[in-house]
Structure 1
């Protein structure tokens, strides 16, 4: 049996020198995560109540972004459901704009699957029933979620919660999107949304099917890779339920019908699941919560845990005296009696261009791809030479991938995937990783831009590098033409774009000019000492 090893980063992270110490009367105790629109903090009310406090990014000051944020506040404020995180407060009059909801203690569904693997069929049915009831409750209030996915489901002790209504809207609200774009995440978007940008409650049911398929298989419901290829499969291919229990697979497939009229309503899903009781009573579900992290009860405890640096000024968020080294993560977990856990991590709106309905994975050269990785491996889990541990900024790239499948991996223009399949490093789970490469054939002896970003927000000092693999036919001598860029740091959810051949580090005469054939782009996460682990694969063709 294969053992899953995960190095998923802790949910609670220490405040940084530039972070505010207090917002809207809530004392900040830790960072919980980052999303497309801003940073999420763990806050504490004067009365001792924990909240998840989302602060919109300073550069998100356009009328459209502020309108979207105000709509999110209005949407969450309308909901009164045991399956959603309740609105506690908001600040909409002047920067920094913020939104506070109740803090839900537990892992996200994506984190739980990464740690424990696919869930048992009985647990998946109970999860589907609970989420179906949640959606029915939301739909009854005239609201559609519009971005249901494993990242936006928190597994609380009393049952799952839907979070992140940043792109939700009510029946009477006008969608705020760019022309030719739609909100949501490829792989969970219904075909009618992709084709006509038309959203109805049935689209949430399609996303529910994808979410439960991921829980049952541990795989993205329509594969990973380039967004255009994922979108194409969402429209033209059946949902991936290979290996799932037949009864569960049949129900998932029914909810993922291409015709929205053929899907059951959200309120019908619980009865179709036929579960005997609440998901909170399911032993397998309870085991998913065994590493839940307990928040510090007050500011002195947060300081003792190393989450709030001593001297973090209440008014400005500036360090008034040097902070000592934080306690080790092991010490923190021992003190609070928990393990790495999830909290509300808010994702933004993914805007992209669509596939032509004629088929194929063609599209705009700027189109991005989305990957949700498998469980991953811990750094150093592969073989190869070792390097001295270091800290700070990596200056070179030293691949730690020695698997034969990794060496043979290549991108196929036929289905937009890389094969053989290779397990990714676990850190990619928290990123919402996306990548881009030219979708139209590049010109011989020309250039090509490739890019990578963390749609769910990159952690601090997260470096990536790209490796370019020429067509196999060009690698028949001592100079393979395989070249790698220097490490590049990811900033929030911004794109890191690299230009071939200019940004690739080896001397130009080592890198081939673009020649006809299929080129493969391999993405690495580069650790401070230069050790690099695989996190994604893309490619393009040269005519």
Structure 2
């Protein structure tokens, strides 16, 4: 009898039952290889034959990109002393967030029961979400601390504890992109339609509301009660785990089949947002559901200098153009946004560009808004965030 799973158990464990962190690194390397190739890392067959190949032969990395293949080979070195330390693997993958407490896995596990308070735990295999990065071309300016947020919608609404969200990191070609994924039930198909031909943000007409399509933008005209904060627990905070209080809006109606992700790599100027209907391409395209995504920095931003101020951010921050979340129905459903490129702040007739993430360190709040009318008629339906 041999310990462990054939093909994933380190040679020293098979030969001498020597266990330790180096054996875990070997298993990690074999798991990454299996994830990258879809094939057992040391082939198939009898357990003894697979274990023999694990001890004496090379791992199967055919088709794996060179940079990732190099990391895997180092992890599965026959000599445990030649394998990298776990901290070195984390550094090579640029991991800066936890793989735990992801809402997608909790929604699958809870089987329609009320969502419990999250407990940090190990999660299933990570889901890679490759997001191409690009640097902003300019250093934009942002909102001023002295500008009031007023109007009929500027009333403070009672807040409730919202959906607690964690982070999911994936190591692909030695680069891990932390993401958070929400999965919200099902929604029936409604009306048919034709999806646009592009797979990213598309140009949309400046209309006054959903009757003729979404407005060109939403206005930053209110004090937002939606706020994501990093966990007070030091262990969770070190993993980038936090929670979001989503303000209670009487007329909010979240889409029941929305899957979305938010990603940011610590130290970078950018963030990425992706979303898609879970049932994209199945049956008739549903009636339009217009969404605008808002990213709010931790602090108010001076509109003239583009530098963060000392005061806490009050408004909804920088927002994307509203769009129909079902617009890519026939081509996979995914819509991708890049921050700061695809985001602006709108104050009446004035529009300013988004600031780079690295300009304002702290807790960033990410909110999905349901646009139900003109530029001032929108409600928050999903809330998340990240720590920069």
Q: TM-score, normalised by structure 1?
A: 0.30
Which structure has the highest helix share of the two? 1
